[in-house]
């Protein structure tokens, strides 16, 4: 499994909705890919914080800037 494929299945992986074969492939990839582990951990932390704090609105401009920065950082660090 490559990084792009893991990201495609990340939500289902977190929700434990992948079949056994894809789960095994994802776990194997995560065991060797630091960047994907960081994305997984960050996503889980974001979900946790969202659930703990409730829904808060982020202004559209700030949200777009944040997503752009995250995408640029991920693309820069991808192998």
pLDDT tens by residue, 34-79: 999 999 999 999 888 887 776 667 788 988 898 888 888 888 876 6
Cβ atoms of residues 64 and 71 within 8 Å: no
Question: Closest by alpha carbon to 73, among 39, 29, 23?
Answer: 39
Total domains present in the chain: 1
pLDDT for the residue 56:
67
* Mean pLDDT, residues 19-34: 95
Q: What angle do CA 69, 71, 63 make, to 5 degrees?
A: 55
pLDDT for the residue 73:
84
Cβ atoms of residues 39 and 14 within 8 Å: no
Give me the domain span that covers residue 32: 3-77
pTM listed for this prediction: 0.62
How many angstroms separate the CA atoms of 72 and 78, rounded? 10
pLDDT for the residue 21:
95
Asked if the model's pLDDT at residue 28 lies above 70, the reply is: yes
Structure confidence at residue 29 as a pLDDT band (50, 70, 90): very high
């Amino acid at each position: 499994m490559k990084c792009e494929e893991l990201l495609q299945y990340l939500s289902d992986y977190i929700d434990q909705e992948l079949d056994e074969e894809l789960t095994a492939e994802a776990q194997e990839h995560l065991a060797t890919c630091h960047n994907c582990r960081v994305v997984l951990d960050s996503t889980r932390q974001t979900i946790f914080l969202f659930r703990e704090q409730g829904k808060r609105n982020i202004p559209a401009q700030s949200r777009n800037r944040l997503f752009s920065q995250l995408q640029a950082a991920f693309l820069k660090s991808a192998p």
